[in-house]
Amino acid sequence: MSGIERLHEIMKRLRDPERGCPWDREQTLDTLKPCVLEETYELLAAMDDPSDRESYVEELGDVLLQVMFQSVMGEERGDFTFDDVANAVADKLVHRHPHVFGDVKADDSAAVLRNWERIKAMERAKKARRSALDGVPPSLPALLKARRMMEKASRAGYEEPIPEVDAAADPGGYMLAAVKRLADLGIDAEAALEKRLSGFAGRFRAFEDAHRAD
């Protein structure tokens, strides 16, 4: 039995109405949302130190558990299975990489991204999406959402000038300008801020240690 098959059987047992776990049986899509978010952030933390193999593998597994959990719930409703989920993403990867699985030519990452956006535009047309921005999840953190929206707009050929703004008069515009300038430099605002906060936390803890006796 493969690892995926074993995980699938365990999850089905946990959801069993008679022999399963009371907590796992009670979960719904709404109650799992905080779990998905928490596990995602824990994986992001583990990705900062992939050399810690045990922690990295554990956090990847926790995210996989959330996918399996919802897949088993889909099976219970007769909607879809884990294989459906895996095959859907496999089909998407093949479709969006014609330069690997087809005869389209792409010599660099820029060409790959142009092809990617063109293919996604065709997919949006089939799904009746009106805008490239429709694919940006509204629940993303604001800094990440700003970068993703500007990336998608830029790939579509749209560049909005960001004027100098006063932070007190227009804090949102000030933040957007900062994110745009960082993005133009190839810097992720969320990751940059996280790194800076990590340094701040270290300095503050050293301050606490130095003044603990006081």
Q: Is residue 99 part of a domain?
A: no
Residues 21 and 84 in one domain: yes
Q: How confident is the model at residue 214 (pLDDT cuts 50, 70, 90)?
A: low
Whether pLDDT at 167 is above 90: no
* Helices and strands of the chain, counted as H and E runs: 10, 0
pLDDT tens digits for range 94-147: 998 999 998 888 888 888 888 887 887 777 766 666 777 877 888 888 888 888
pLDDT tens digits for range 60-94: 999 999 999 999 999 999 999 999 999 999 999 99
How far is residue 132's CA from residue 119's CA, in Å, rounded to a whole number? 11
CATH of the domain at 180: 1.10.287.1080
Please report the pLDDT score of residue 35 as a whole number. Answer: 93
Among the three residues 40, 63, 93, which one is the final residue of a domain in this structure?
93
Residues 88 and 159 in one domain: no
Residues of the chain above pLDDT 90, percent: 43
Q: Is residue 117 part of a domain?
A: no
Among the three residues 93, 126, 147, which one is the final residue of a domain in this structure?
93
Token readout for 209 is 């240690």
Counted domains in the chain:
2
> What domain range is 82 assigned to?
3-93
Q: How confident is the model at residue 51 (pLDDT cuts 50, 70, 90)?
A: very high
Length of the chain counted residue by residue: 214
Residues 210 and 148 in one domain: yes
pTM: 0.69
Q: Which amino acid is at 141?
A: P
More confident residue, 14 or 157: 14
Among the three residues 74, 93, 112, which one is the final residue of a domain in this structure?
93
Q: Is residue 50 part of a domain?
A: yes
